[in-house]
């Protein structure tokens, strides 16, 4: 009986532990590194950019055959792997396809076994990556619901302010805003947030670059982020803040200006700004 109770207590301690337990890799032996950097681009929206030296970080770029073919040998060699995946669905447009790798980063076969997951939009040209390990070390010391790092939005403070800004730009005839967002169900999404009691005054974050621990709390939030993308539209900055609060996640702030900092440069997209057929 004592042995049985001891076994049960050990099992409960393991289940309640916040220590990361890596899953089995589905694509071969797990890397000795704990950090995976992920980016994605399809349909020529962004080119594959050359990464700086990234010792201690494995870097994965998901793309299509044309984008890989047009990349320079130097850029291809700078990534740990450049992959042409057989997913997601073929009827996804290039922007939505890239979002799958962003919002479902913890489900990607190649990186599901890593403790720390870093996302960089393919529009980002990183100048150095040493800051990643420094911030990961700081996040390790926090409770698991706080083990995520985001960049504050440089111009607006809340979800409501972002929605109203986009609506105003469309009403003023801003062609870029119209092409990107006029077909999105943002007004319906905002009403849905309010109907569910979600805080539309939540702090606004950028989705361009972030880092998270691969843990079940944050993963559930990211699963709901993907659901919001499929349900309402491509404007994922609206849903992330309310979901963070709903799941009790407390982001740490990377206090840099998205458009003017020493870590990276954000380069304008080269390809279509909308998945709507005929819009480029």
pLDDT in tens, 24-74: 555 555 567 899 999 999 999 999 999 999 999 999 999 999 999 999 999
3 domain-assigned: no
Mind listing the pLDDT tens digit for each residue in 83-115? 999 999 999 999 999 999 999 999 999 999 999
92 domain-assigned: yes
Give the pLDDT of residue 273: 53
119 domain-assigned: yes
9 domain-assigned: no
Mind listing the pLDDT tens digit for each residue in 116-146? 999 999 999 999 999 999 999 999 999 999 9
Give the pLDDT of residue 198: 97
14 domain-assigned: no
1 domain-assigned: no
Give the pLDDT of residue 26: 54
User: Domain range holding 222?
Assistant: 31-266
Which residue matches tokens 């980016």? 39
Number of domains in the chain: 1
**Least confident piece of the model among 26-30, 250-254, 259-263:** 26-30
pTM of the complete model = 0.86
Q: How far is CA 207 from CA 6, 172, 177, 258, in A?
A: 45, 25, 18, 10
Q: 247: domain CATH number?
A: 3.90.550
Round to whole Å and give the CA distance between 56 and 118: 13
277 domain-assigned: no
Element (H, E) at 169: helix 159-171
Measure the CA angle with vertex 224, ends 223 and 229; round to 5°.
100
């Amino acid at each position: 009986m004592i042995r049985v109770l001891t076994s049960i207590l050990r099992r409960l301690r393991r289940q309640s532990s916040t220590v990361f337990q890596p899953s089995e890799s589905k694509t071969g032996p797990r890397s000795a590194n704990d950090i995976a950097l992920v980016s994605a681009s399809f349909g020529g929206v962004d080119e594959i950019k050359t990464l700086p030296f990234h010792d201690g970080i494995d870097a994965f770029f998901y793309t299509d055959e044309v984008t890989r073919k047009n990349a320079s040998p130097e850029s291809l060699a700078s990534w740990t792997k450049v992959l042409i995946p057989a997913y997601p669905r073929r009827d996804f447009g290039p922007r939505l396809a890239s979002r799958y790798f962003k919002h479902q980063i913890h489900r990607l076969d190649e990186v599901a076994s890593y403790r720390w997951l870093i996302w960089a939009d393919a529009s980002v040209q990183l100048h150095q990556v040493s800051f990643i390990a420094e911030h990961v070390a700081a996040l390790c010391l926090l409770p698991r619901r706080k083990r995520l790092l985001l960049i504050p939005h440089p111009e607006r403070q809340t979800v409501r302010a972002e929605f109203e800004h986009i609506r105003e730009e469309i009403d003023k005839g801003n062609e870029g805003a119209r092409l990107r967002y006029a077909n999105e169900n943002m007004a319906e999404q905002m009403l849905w947030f309010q109907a569910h009691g979600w805080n539309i005054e939540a702090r606004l974050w950028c989705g361009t670059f972030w880092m998270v621990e691969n843990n079940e709390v944050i993963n559930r939030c990211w699963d709901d982020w993907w659901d919001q993308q499929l349900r309402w539209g491509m404007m994922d900055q609206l849903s992330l803040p309310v979901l963070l609060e709903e799941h009790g996640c407390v982001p740490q702030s990377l206090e840099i200006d998205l458009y003017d900092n020493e870590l990276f440069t954000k380069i304008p997209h080269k390809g279509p700004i909308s998945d709507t057929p005929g819009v480029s």
